[in-house]
């Protein structure tokens, strides 16, 4: 319940402030979103598995976002930013799908 409220608060904050992202940070935004989604789905699955841990969740979120941003930053510096972004999205996407499959198995037994 707290989780849903917190998520809603975040959405409302975003809607109210409508922050404009500086140009330099724009390439990192989609990557950060995917990384955050990965952390969130991982957390949901852990919750359903009964092994959710707050510290683990926070750390995985922060590290996911930071590492993803770092990889894209390095890629930009090396001239392969686009490819590395794709790589990050693929890896995180696979993890998200795997976690969603786990959630699905938990919820629907299918």
Partner 1 sequence: MTTAPARRRPSDFLTEMFRNPLDPGYAEAARRRAERGPEPAGRQVTGRFGRAVVLAATGFLLVVAYHQTVAAQPESSRVRAGLVTDVRDRQRDADRLQQQADQLRDEVARERDAALAAAGTDAGQLSRLELATGTSKVRGPGAVVRLADGPPQVDPVTGKSQPAKYGAVLDRDLQDVANELWHDGAEAIAVNGERLTATSTIRTAGSTILVDFRPISSPYQVSAIGPRDLDRRFTDSRTGQRFHAYVSAYGMQVSVDRRDDLTLPAAADPQLHYAQPVPGASPSPSGGSPVPSRSGGR
Which parts of this chain interact with partner 1 (CB under 8 A)?
2-3, 5-11, 13-15, 18-19, 21, 26, 29-30, 32-33, 36-37, 39-40, 42-43, 45-46, 49-62, 91, 94-99, 102
Is there a contact between 37 and 45 (Cβ–Cβ < 8 Å)? no
Residue 56 host element (H or E): helix 54-78
Of 74 and 94, nearer to partner 1 (C-beta) is 94
| CB 8, min distance to partner 1, A | 7
| CB 95, min distance to partner 1, A | 4
Is there a contact between 89 and 34 (Cβ–Cβ < 8 Å)? yes
| CB 79, min distance to partner 1, A | 20
| CB 78, min distance to partner 1, A | 21
Say which DSSP state 23 is in.
Answer: G
Of 26 and 79, nearer to partner 1 (C-beta) is 26
Of 55 and 109, nearer to partner 1 (C-beta) is 55
- Measured CA to CA, the distance from residue 48 to residue 106 in angstroms comes to 7
**Chain CA centroid to CA 51, Å:** 19
- Measured CA to CA, the distance from residue 41 to residue 98 in angstroms comes to 9
């Amino acid at each position: 319940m707290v989780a849903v409220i917190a998520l809603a608060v975040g959405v409302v904050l975003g809607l109210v402030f409508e922050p404009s992202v500086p140009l330099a940070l724009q390439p990192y935004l989609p990557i950060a979103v995917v990384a955050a989604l990965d952390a969130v789905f991982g957390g949901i699955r852990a919750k359903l598995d009964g092994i959710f841990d707050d510290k683990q969740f926070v750390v995985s979120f922060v590290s996911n976002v930071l590492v993803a941003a770092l990889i894209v930053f390095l890629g930009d510096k090396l001239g392969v930013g686009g490819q590395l972004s794709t790589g990050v999205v693929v890896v995180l996407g696979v993890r998200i799908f795997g976690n969603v499959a786990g959630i699905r198995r938990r919820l629907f037994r299918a």
